[in-house]
Amino acid sequence: MPKIFALVLAAGQGTRIGDAVPKQYIPVAGKPMMFHSIEALASVSRVERVFVVLAPLDRHWGSYDWSALPDKVEGIFCGGSRRAESVANSLEYLKERIAKDDWVLVHDAARPCIQKELVEQFLDELEGDAVGGLLAIPLGDTLKSADENLRVAATIPRLKLWRAQTPQMFHYDMLRRGLEKRPLATDEAEAIESLGYYAPRLVQGEDTNIKVTFAEDLQIAQMILQLHGRLEM
């Protein structure tokens, strides 16, 4: 049976949030932001190991106490300047430890509100799938395109449009080949699509699985974690 290995992408600097430390280390609910997503993935028994992908010169990881996390969590210092580069570097770094047909599950450190139950559901729906897939949400808002004067140029039909989330999960060799062909892919699904004959499966996600991008998102994440009972007292 193929094993499942998780990559938590935590090599970015998060400059848009305007904090002194990289975004993934900003405290949320009493812990560094990325602690929550690492904990959720590590609590899933089907996940063999959780690799936290850090920048080569990361000087923060070693200054935190991660002892509350299971032993299967491991930091690897091979992240790149872009998402796709971080994933590709990790696949190369781990090539002796992950088989070609093993699953690689990729999650953003900046999505701290992912719940174990949603990850379990995600794995259930992809079990036996030949390609793999991603969490996503059907688009509910009306979309507009703009011209150079910031006036509406067109209304874009939202039927069949989805907002991609993470986790995204694909077989090791398939993902490696996809990233070789599309090294600037904005997510793993795009890399798989570039191969031309694979269609990633869309698995219904949750609106609470937010990505923290701006400072105001921190308060929203805090409230969601409190709602989920994951707020440290």
CATH classification at residue 48:
3.90.550.10
Contacts of 144 (CB under 8 A, 6+ apart): 152, 153, 154, 155, 156
The string of pLDDT tens digits covering residues 120-162 is 999 999 999 999 999 999 998 999 999 999 999 999 988 889 9
Residue 11 lies in a domain: yes
Q: Is the pLDDT of residue 233 over 50?
A: no
Residue 165 lies in a domain: yes
pTM above 0.85, yes or no: yes
Model pLDDT, residue 1: 87
The string of pLDDT tens digits covering residues 81-94 is 999 999 999 999 99
Q: Is the pLDDT of residue 19 over 90?
A: no
Model pLDDT, residue 89: 98
Both tokens of 129, joined, read 């799938």
Residue 232 lies in a domain: no
Residue 169 lies in a domain: yes
Model pLDDT, residue 204: 97
Both tokens of 205, joined, read 């996600």
Task: Round to whole Å and give the CA distance between 45 and 43.
Answer: 6
Residue 94 lies in a domain: yes
| Structural domain that includes position 32 | 4-227
Residue 196 lies in a domain: yes
Residue 233 lies in a domain: no
Give the chain's domain count. 1
3-class SS string, the chain? CCCEEEEEEECCCCHHHCCCCCHHHCEECCEEHHHHHHHHHHCCCCEEEEEEEECCCCCCHHHCCCCCCCCCEEEEECCCCCHHHHHHHHHHHCCCCCCCCCEEEEEECCCCCCCHHHHHHHHHHHCCCCCEEEEEEECCCCEEEECCCCCEEEEECCCCCEEEEEEEEEEHHHHHHHHHHCCCCCCHHHHHHCCCCCCCEEEECCCCCCCCCCHHHHHHHHHHHHHCCCCCC
Q: Residue 195 — φ and ψ, nearest 5°?
A: -70, -20
The string of pLDDT tens digits covering residues 175-230 is 999 999 999 999 999 999 999 989 999 999 999 999 999 889 999 999 999 998 87
Model pLDDT, residue 164: 97
Residue 61 lies in a domain: yes
Q: If pLDDT is split at 50, 70 and 90, which confidence band does 231 have?
A: low
Model pLDDT, residue 53: 98
The string of pLDDT tens digits covering residues 26-84 is 999 899 999 999 999 999 999 999 999 999 999 999 999 999 999 999 999 999 999 99
